[in-house]
């Protein structure tokens, strides 16, 4: 896998939302049985490498590939010059087989990262989970913030991300990695316009929890979208809305828990 993703490298200041972070991608592939996962740094040198040179350098000499599989309509190399035909031609000479993975459909709908991003942005998490094969969640290490939430009565576990998230808004969530079972929470994902924030930040407020999570790796599972991120007239108005968000998130999560145990 490339890191950063080629589309992020070429987009520069306005990269498209990323569905899965590098660590989560590697862990997911390992859960599905991959013995090892290689991350190749995508930079200016690699972006200018011809498709033929990439195949000979990375696939033949470095990986000693025996089989190479790509997604439908996948292109690689400088100016997207490589395709399945080129792989099969070089493979016949270098001793590897190349194939193209057929699109996967569920209930007649093609599964793609683009479609899943659309569902996530629309707050359709159940539908997105069907296509993903699991609930959508984002993991990371808890970092220190400005602790403004604590002064307002809503202490949060904060996760920062170097990439543009596929979500923005306020959500009912479960937090994994604190206790043996998921913990109910309400989370904000965005730039915090009321307090002049800039970088994307995921802030999860765990209900009825007192403790220090700094440095812990947690995972936030998204259940329902409550509203868009908004800029309020002041901290009092923000706090009032946070109470309403927390009440609604509790209701949604309690109902989900009751359905699961019924």
Please tell me whether residues 57 and 150 are part of one structural domain.
Answer: no
Please tell me whether residues 128 and 153 are part of one structural domain.
Answer: no
| pLDDT tens digits for range 161-214 | 776 677 889 999 999 999 999 999 999 988 765 555 557 789 999 999 988 899
| pLDDT tens digits for range 31-46 | 889 999 989 999 999 9
Mode of pairing for the β-strands spanning 183-190 and 169-176: antiparallel
pTM beyond 0.75, yes or no: yes
Q: How far apart are CA 218 and CA 224, in angstroms?
A: 19
Provide the 10 A C-beta neighbour count for residue 259.
8
Please tell me whether residues 94 and 112 are part of one structural domain.
Answer: no
Please tell me whether residues 116 and 158 are part of one structural domain.
Answer: no
Q: Where are the alpha helices (DSSP H) in 33-152?
A: 44-47, 51-54, 84-94, 113-121, 125-132, 148-151
Please tell me whether residues 61 and 161 are part of one structural domain.
Answer: no
Lowest-confidence segment of 14-28, 80-94, 220-234 by average pLDDT: 14-28
Last residue of a domain, one of 134, 155, 179: 134
Last residue of a domain, one of 54, 84, 102: 102
Please tell me whether residues 165 and 246 are part of one structural domain.
Answer: yes
- For residue 195, the 8-state DSSP code is G
Q: Per-residue pLDDT averaged across 139-143, rounded?
A: 92
Q: How confident is the model at residue 223 (pLDDT cuts 50, 70, 90)?
A: very high
- Residue 13 pLDDT: 66
- For residue 165, the 8-state DSSP code is B
First to last CA, the chain: 42
Please tell me whether residues 233 and 254 are part of one structural domain.
Answer: yes
Please tell me whether residues 190 and 146 are part of one structural domain.
Answer: yes
Q: How far apart are CA 135 and CA 2, in angstroms?
A: 24
- CATH code of the domain in which 144 resides: 2.40.30.30
Last residue of a domain, one of 79, 114, 134: 134
Provide the domain count of the chain. 3
Please tell me whether residues 143 and 240 are part of one structural domain.
Answer: yes
Cα 107–108–114 angle (5° rounding)?
A: 100
Half-sphere exposure of 39 (CA within 13 A, CB side): 12
| Angle, in degrees to the nearest 10, between helices 125-132 and 113-121 | 160
Q: What range does the domain containing 248 cover?
A: 136-261
Q: Which residue has the tokens 């490339």?
A: 2
Q: How far apart are CA 30 and CA 131, in angstroms?
A: 19
- Residue 17 pLDDT: 76
Nearest to 17 by CA among 144, 172, 162, 171: 162
Q: Which residue has the tokens 């459909």?
A: 105
Please tell me whether residues 241 and 163 are part of one structural domain.
Answer: yes
- CATH code of the domain in which 28 resides: 3.40.50.620
Please tell me whether residues 143 and 257 are part of one structural domain.
Answer: yes
Q: How far apart are CA 60 and CA 55, in angstroms?
A: 6
Please tell me whether residues 145 and 123 are part of one structural domain.
Answer: no
């Amino acid at each position: 896998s490339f890191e950063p993703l080629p589309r992020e490298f070429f987009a520069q200041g306005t990269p498209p939302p990323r569905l899965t972070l590098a660590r989560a991608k590697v862990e997911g592939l390992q859960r599905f049985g991959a013995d090892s996962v290689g991350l190749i740094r995508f930079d200016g040198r690699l972006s200018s490498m011809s498709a033929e040179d990439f195949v000979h350098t990375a696939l033949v000499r470095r990986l000693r590939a025996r089989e190479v599989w790509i997604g439908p309509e996948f292109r690689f190399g400088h100016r997207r010059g490589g395709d399945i035909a080129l792989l099969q031609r070089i493979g016949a000479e270098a001793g590897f087989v190349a194939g193209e993975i057929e699109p996967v459909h569920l209930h007649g709908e093609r599964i793609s990262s683009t479609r899943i991003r659309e569902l996530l942005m629309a707050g359709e998490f159940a539908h997105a989970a069907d296509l993903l094969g699991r609930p959508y969640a984002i993991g990371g290490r808890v970092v220190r913030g400005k602790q403004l939430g604590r002064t307002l009565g809503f202490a949060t576990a904060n996760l920062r991300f170097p990439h543009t998230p596929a979500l923005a808004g306020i959500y009912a969530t479960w937090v994994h990695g604190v206790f043996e079972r998921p913990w109910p929470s309400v989370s904000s994902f965005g730039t915090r316009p009321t307090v002049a924030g800039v970088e994307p930040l995921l802030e999860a407020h765990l209900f009825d929890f007192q403790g220090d999570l700094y440095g812990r790796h947690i995972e936030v599972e998204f259940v329902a979208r409550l509203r868009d991120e908004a800029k309020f007239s002041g901290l009092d108005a923000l706090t009032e809305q946070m109470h309403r968000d927390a009440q609604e998130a509790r209701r949604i999560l309690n109902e989900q828990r009751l359905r699961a145990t019924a």
